């Protein structure tokens, strides 16, 4: 029997959770299945992002996958940070012993000044402490500053396995390769390191509860030659992949572009505004054709990132006073689920689970 492209994508994305989770393959959410809840950097609306405490809280709140963003240390270890520039999420700027590491670099065409993970050994990074990236918006999370170190990818895998045993359901891991082209130019390619880590942990297979994502194209294609785990192509509402000058993400989400993505990935991770555009009066518009187009190409759809604060919501969904107040984020979740998405990234997994019902 020959599998259609769509059926193959369903099988590849679904076997990561089949039998372990109380719902069927993720790629079949548009056929009445439950969409995945992906804890974006952990429960990062409530705890400092990419901390073990944040991942544990997200699991308690019912998420299906936890998301670690991966960068590489000077000595080649995979560690979990949203960016390779670490001053926004650690106390490195207050450490006099590392004052001389401050530098400027051009990362994906952007000039950035600060401290970079690839300039530190793992042992040095482990002396730092994590802190809230958005303390003005999330003061309750900032109260947990300084309590934890930067986790390694291995520690996140170990946590997912231990928590799966504890809660009696499989907790998946959804790593993102950050700035792979930049890291390769720095002599620290990430693709092989990630594939090796998955192999060492016995989760390098289409059935593993692992989904690998990336905004760049060539690194994701390279990774596909190194590992058989599920892969998702990320796309933003603007610009294009750092490794493809002249290519826009808008070009990649046309029906033809989606067919091309389906040759090397099993899913699409779009900015959620590409699924639910804003209306001129600041509300939520009717869904675009993106979910249907992606499904037609055999791709699951996992939009990112739904946040509860007014600052991140359309004007008509804002409530209360100020950007830090929580608005009607449930309306966003419900509209995305109604549009047929197969999963959703959120900083507030408890709210995503509640809206999923």
Q: Which domains does the chain have, with CATH numbers?
A: 5-83+135-356 (3.20.20.190)
pLDDT above 60 (res 27):
no
Q: What is the pLDDT of residue 10?
A: 39
Q: Tokens 């966003």 label which residue?
A: 332
Residue 4 exposed, middle or buried by CB count within 10 Å (0-12, 13-18, 19+) = exposed
DSSP-derived secondary structure for 285-329: ----SHHHHHHHTT-EE--B-B--BGGGS-GGG--SSSTTSB--H
As a whole number, the mean pLDDT across the chain is 92
Strand partners for 232: 213, 267
Question: Per-residue pLDDT for 23 more than 50?
Answer: no
The string of pLDDT tens digits covering residues 265-293 is 999 999 999 999 999 999 999 999 999 99
This prediction has a pTM of 0.92
Residue 188 pLDDT class (50, 70, 90 cuts): very high
d(CA 16, CA 65): 11
- Which among 204, 207, 196, 211 has a CA at the least distance from the CA of 265? 211
Say which residue, 10 or 291, is predicted with more confidence.
291
Q: DSSP E strands: which ranges in 206-278?
A: 211-214, 230-235, 267-270
Cβ-contact 232, 302 below 8 angstroms: yes
Helix (H) or strand (E) holding 64: none
Q: Distance (Å, rounded) from C-alpha 103 to C-alpha 89?
A: 17
Confidence of residue 33 (pLDDT cuts 50, 70, 90): low
d(C-alpha 186, C-alpha 65), whole Å: 30
Cβ atoms of residues 229 and 264 within 8 Å:
no
Average pLDDT over residues 23-33: 40
* Interstrand relation of 110-114 and 103-107 (parallel, antiparallel or unpaired): antiparallel
Instruction: Report the pLDDT averaged over residues 162-183.
Output: 98
Catalytic residue among 82, 179, 266, 295: 82
Q: Per-residue pLDDT averaged across 69-87, rounded?
A: 98
Beta bridge partners of residue 112, listed in sequence order = 105
Percent of the chain with pLDDT over 90: 90
Q: What is the pLDDT of residue 179?
A: 98
With a cut of 70, say whether residue 31 has pLDDT above it: no
Q: Which residue has the higher pLDDT, 29 or 260?
A: 260
Residues of the chain with pLDDT > 70, as a percent, come to 91
The verdict on whether 82 is a catalytic residue reads yes
Per-residue pLDDT for 106 more than 60?
yes
Q: Is the pLDDT of residue 18 over 80?
A: no
Q: Is the pLDDT of residue 29 over 60?
A: no
């Amino acid at each position: 029997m020959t599998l259609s492209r769509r059926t193959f994508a369903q099988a590849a994305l679904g076997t990561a959770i089949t039998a372990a989770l109380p719902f069927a393959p993720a790629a079949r959410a548009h056929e009445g299945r439950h969409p995945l809840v992906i804890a974006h950097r952990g429960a990062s609306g409530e705890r400092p992002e990419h901390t073990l405490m944040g991942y544990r809280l997200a699991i308690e709140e019912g998420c299906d996958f936890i998301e670690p963003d991966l960068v590489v240390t000077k000595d080649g270890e995979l560690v979990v940070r949203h960016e390779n520039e670490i001053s926004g999420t650690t106390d490195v700027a207050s450490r006099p012993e590392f004052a001389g590491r401050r530098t400027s670099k051009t990362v994906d065409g952007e000039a950035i000044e600060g401290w970079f993970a690839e300039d530190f050994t793992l042992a040095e990074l482990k002396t730092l402490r994590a802190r809230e990236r958005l303390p003005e918006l999330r003061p309750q999370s900032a109260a947990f500053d300084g309590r934890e170190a930067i986790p390694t990818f291995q520690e996140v895998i170990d946590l997912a396995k231990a928590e799966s045993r504890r809660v009696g359901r499989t907790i998946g891991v959804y790593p993102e390769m950050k700035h792979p082209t930049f890291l390769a130019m720095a002599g620290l390619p990430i693709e092989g390191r990630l594939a090796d880590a998955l192999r060492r942990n016995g989760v390098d297979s289409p059935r593993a509860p692992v989904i690998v994502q990336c905004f760049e194209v060539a690194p994701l294609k390279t990774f596909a030659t190194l590992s058989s785990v599920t892969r998702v192509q990320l796309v933003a509402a603007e610009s294009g992949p750092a490794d493809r000058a002249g290519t826009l993400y808008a070009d990649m989400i046309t029906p033809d572009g989606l067919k091309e993505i389906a040759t090397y990935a099993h899913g699409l991770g779009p900015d959620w505004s590409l699924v639910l555009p804003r209306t001129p009066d600041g509300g939520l518009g009717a869904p675009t054709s993106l979910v249907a187009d992606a499904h037609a190409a055999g791709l699951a759809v996992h939009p990112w990132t739904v946040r509860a604060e007014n600052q991140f919501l359309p004007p008509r969904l804002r409530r209360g006073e100020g950007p830090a107040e929580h608005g009607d984020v449930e309306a966003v979740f419900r509209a995305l689920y109604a549009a047929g998405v197969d999963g959703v990234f959120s900083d507030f997994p408890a709210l995503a689970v509640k809206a999923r019902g």
